[in-house]
Amino acid sequence: MHSRWKRVRYRLEWLGLLAATKLIPLFSRKACLRFARMLGTLISIFDRHRRKVALSNLEVAFSNRFSINERRKIVRESFQHFARTMLDFLWSPRLTPENFSRYIELHNFEETARGTGPERGLIVACYHYSNFEWLSLACGFASLTSVIIAQEFKNSLLNPIFKTIREQAGHELIPRERGIVRLYKVLRRQGGTTALLVDLTVRPRQGAVVIDCFGLKTSVTSAHAWLHEQTGAPIVPAHCEPLPNGRYRLIFHPKIDNIAGMTHQQVAQACWDSFEPYVRKNPAPWLWMYKYWRYRPANPDRPYPFYAHVMRPFDEILKRDQVS
């Protein structure tokens, strides 16, 4: 009975998403933004668990910088930014190589080519900040097409829809199985490019390193560091930030320099350090409802979110990486 209901639910989700892909592109930009604000507000009210996670994350990250009312406002806006990202993603078939610059401006785009050459590829380190989906699309429309590991859904019926939209700008999505090996081969090819989201929690012992994130230890991927080590492809962090009137700015950070001799942990930390100041300046666009600190040290020197727990492998890699 349970599996039967799951099949029905998955089918209904697929039908709902399919209908949304037909309906949302008919919206004007103003209508899309208004709908996103309303939807984000409603989700922040009814999704109590994720709201609790977001409030806890903000409290431990910023300590006493914000009052409880200010944290609630940031959390509501974070839900609104995520809703806007998802609705804009469904609206994005209206973007083309000819018109995307009306909605997305590129800042320091030349950084992607500085110090690189046709003999080397490029690794773009991205973050769940504002419209990370349009960051990918804008890169493709600007002729920086990449091979990207796809995040697959439990409901496999949804994957082809997301894949079609994400590949419209020229990217190639590949499955997670042996994905890093395929990215290695792409970067070894002349001019190969890939993009990785590097702010997600990774289970210890799954190619993870421990970095300081707002002064708290968290376990993240070291895939970008390993790929650079193996291929010599430079790493350029990048993020997208919101602008008025439904527009965005895609910011390419300075290339991570002086990597020779650095550990994977140090490379991952350098990427995060280039991004954290933007979140401190404007916290709301980050995905605060995500569990960034699932693991905590056995004897932490400051509070962690309520959901964090002690895990022996986490302490082992913490000692290995000697994060101060």
The predicted pLDDT at position 161 comes to 94
Residues 216, 177: Cα–Cα separation, whole Å: 30
Predicted TM-score of the model (pTM) = 0.93
pLDDT digits (tens, 9 = 90+) for 229-254: 998 889 999 999 999 999 999 999 99
Mean pLDDT of 105-109: 93
Residues 294, 203: Cα–Cα separation, whole Å: 9
Residue (of 135, 158, 132) closest to 20 by Cα position:
158
pLDDT at 119 over 60: no
Residue (of 111, 95, 138, 110) closest to 249 by Cα position:
138
- The answer to which of 39-43, 86-90, 175-179 has the lowest mean pLDDT is 175-179
* Every domain of the chain and the residues it spans: 91-321
Q: In what order do the strands lie in the sheet with 248-252?
A: 104-107, 248-252, 235-242, 122-126, 193-197, 147-149, 172-174
Residue (of 238, 193, 210, 198) closest to 294 by Cα position:
210
Residue (of 211, 227, 232) closest to 179 by Cα position:
227
pLDDT at 150 over 90: no
pLDDT digits (tens, 9 = 90+) for 259-305: 888 999 999 999 999 999 999 999 999 999 999 999 999 989 999 99
Residues 267, 256: Cα–Cα separation, whole Å: 8
pLDDT at 322 over 70: no
Residue 156: CB atoms within 10 A of its CB come to 10
Residue type, 304: Y
pLDDT at 318 over 80: yes
The residue count for the chain:
324
- DSSP label of 129: B
The per-residue pLDDT of the chain, averaged, comes to 91
Mean pLDDT of 67-93: 97
Mean pLDDT of 66-93: 97
Residues 29, 24: Cα–Cα separation, whole Å: 10
DSSP 266-287: HHHHHHHHHHHHHHHHS-TTB-
Q: Are 318 and 297 within 8 A, CB to CB? A: yes
Task: Please say whether the dihedral angle defined by the alpha carbons of residues 15, 127, 240 and 290, taken in this order, is positive or negative.
Answer: positive
Mean pLDDT of 255-259: 83
Residues 271, 235: Cα–Cα separation, whole Å: 8
pLDDT digits (tens, 9 = 90+) for 200-223: 999 987 779 999 999 999 999 999
